[in-house]
Amino acid sequence: MKKEIKIGIIAVVALALFVWGYNFLKGTSIFSSEYRLYAHYANSSGISSSDPVILNGYKIGHVEKIKFNPNNDGSFIISLIITNSFPIPDNSVAKIVSTNITGSKGVEIFIGNTTKYLSHNDTIHAELDPSMIDRLAIEIMPLKEKVETLIEQLSITAQSVNDILNEQSRQNIIESLDNLKVITGMAAHQKNNLDAIMTNAKSFTEDLKQSAEHFDHIVTNVSNITDDIAQADISGVIAQLQHTVATMDSLLLQIQSDDNTLGKLITTDSLHNELTRSTEQLRLLLEDVRKNPKKYVKFSVF
C-alpha cells in the first residue's frame, strides 16, 4: 500500500473521530435518529448550547443553538435536538427551568394531550418558568414584609423603652435593685430563725398528731355521755325536781308564817331579846365571880 493512501485513511479516520467527539461533547449522537424543534423565548434565562432537554426528569435531547430572532425584537430562537423517539403532542410546552440548586439551566417538555404530534423542524410552544431564585424570592417576600414590620415595631418599642428609662428612672431601678439586695441579705441572716420556726412547726405537728388519739378518746367519752343522757328518763327527773321545788316552797312559806312555833321564833324578836338579856346577865355574873370570888366560894381551915 502506498504511503499516500495510508495517510489519506488516517486523515479520514481522524476527521471522523473529531466529528464524533465534537458531537458527543455537544450531546449529539451521530448514530441515532433525531429531529429538531424550535422554540421562541423573550428571554434566554441563561440557557446555553448543550444544556439538556428533559421530559419528566429524563433527558431526551439537548439545546443545539441559540440565536436572535430575525425580526430584531430582542427575542431568541432556540433549536432543540430530540434524540429520543418519544412522540411529543403539538400542544406541549417547552419551559426553561433550573435543573439543580447551582442554577444550571435546561429545557423541560410538558406533554400536551392531543393526538397530533410534532415533527422535524416544527415549532413548540415556549414559556419561561420562574427561576428557583425567583420562586424563592416570591416565597420569601411575605416573610420579608413580616420581618420589616417586626423590626419597625421593635424600633418603636426600643424608643419607648429609652423614653421611659430616663436618668431618673434608671436611678430608681438601681435603687430598687439595691433594696432588693439588702432584703435578700436580711433573708439570708434570718435563715436560722426560719429554720427554728420550721422545726417548731414540725414538732407542733407531731404533738398534734399524738394528741389526736387522746382527742378521739375524749370524743368517744362525750359520745357515751350523750348516749346515756339520751337513754335516761329526763322527763321523770324533771318531774321529781319540780315536786321537790314545790315542797321546798311550801316549807319556806310555813317557816315565814307566825302560825307555828318555828315561824314565831324566826318572825318575832322575843326570843332574840331574851337570849340577849340572858347572855348579858351571864357576862355580869362571870365578871363578879372574877372580882369577888370569896363571895361565892368559902374556905374553912381545920
Report pLDDT digits (tens) over 190-249.
Answer: 666 777 777 877 777 777 777 666 767 777 877 777 776 666 666 777 777 788 878 877
The C-alpha angle 78, 82, 83, rounded to 5 degrees, equals 145
Does the residue 12 lie in any domain?
Answer: no
Give the residue, 108 or 257, on which the prediction is more confident. 108
Domain match, 69 and 111 both? yes
**How many folded domains does the chain comprise?**
4
Domain of 64, CATH number, reads 2.40.30
Domain match, 239 and 214 both? no
Q: Are 63 and 77 in contact (CB under 8 A)?
A: no
Least confident of 41-50, 80-89, 95-104: 95-104
Does the residue 203 lie in any domain?
Answer: yes
Q: Are 210 and 202 in contact (CB under 8 A)?
A: no
Q: Are 125 and 94 in contact (CB under 8 A)?
A: yes
pLDDT > 50? residue 257: yes
Q: Are 92 and 112 in contact (CB under 8 A)?
A: yes
pLDDT confidence bin for 116, thresholds 50/70/90: very high
Instruction: Report, as an integer, the average pLDDT of 117-121.
Output: 91
Domain match, 117 and 50 both? yes
* Burial grade of 96 (CB within 10 A; 0-12, 13-18, 19 or more): buried
Rg (CA), the chain: 67
pLDDT recorded at residue 65: 92
Does the residue 222 lie in any domain?
Answer: yes
Task: State the sign of the Cα–Cα–Cα–Cα dihedral 146, 151, 155, 158.
Answer: positive
pLDDT confidence bin for 272, thresholds 50/70/90: low
pLDDT > 60? residue 139: yes
Q: In which domain, by residue range, is 197 found?
A: 167-231
Domain match, 149 and 197 both? no
Task: State the sign of the Cα–Cα–Cα–Cα dihedral 153, 156, 162, 163.
Answer: negative
Residue carrying C-alpha cell 416544527 = 122
Does the residue 102 lie in any domain?
Answer: yes
Percent of the chain clearing pLDDT 90 (strictly above)? 20
Separation between Cα atoms, residue 164 and residue 27, nearest integer Å: 71
pLDDT > 90? residue 93: yes
Q: Are 95 and 81 in contact (CB under 8 A)?
A: no
Instruction: Report, as an integer, the average pLDDT of 110-136.
Output: 82
pLDDT recorded at residue 124: 94
Mean pLDDT (the chain, rounded): 77
pLDDT > 60? residue 130: yes
Instruction: Report, as an integer, the average pLDDT of 33-37.
Output: 85
Domain match, 154 and 171 both? no
Instruction: Report, as an integer, the average pLDDT of 122-144.
Output: 72
Domain match, 252 and 175 both? no
Does the residue 19 lie in any domain?
Answer: no
Instruction: Report, as an integer, the average pLDDT of 19-32.
Output: 60
Domain match, 186 and 198 both? yes
Does the residue 3 lie in any domain?
Answer: no
Domain match, 151 and 122 both? no
Domain match, 160 and 177 both? no
Does the residue 65 lie in any domain?
Answer: yes
Instruction: Report, as an integer, the average pLDDT of 276-301.
Output: 73
Does the residue 294 lie in any domain?
Answer: no
Most confident of 23-37, 49-63, 223-237: 49-63
Most confident of 12-16, 28-32, 71-75, 269-273: 71-75
Domain match, 111 and 36 both? yes
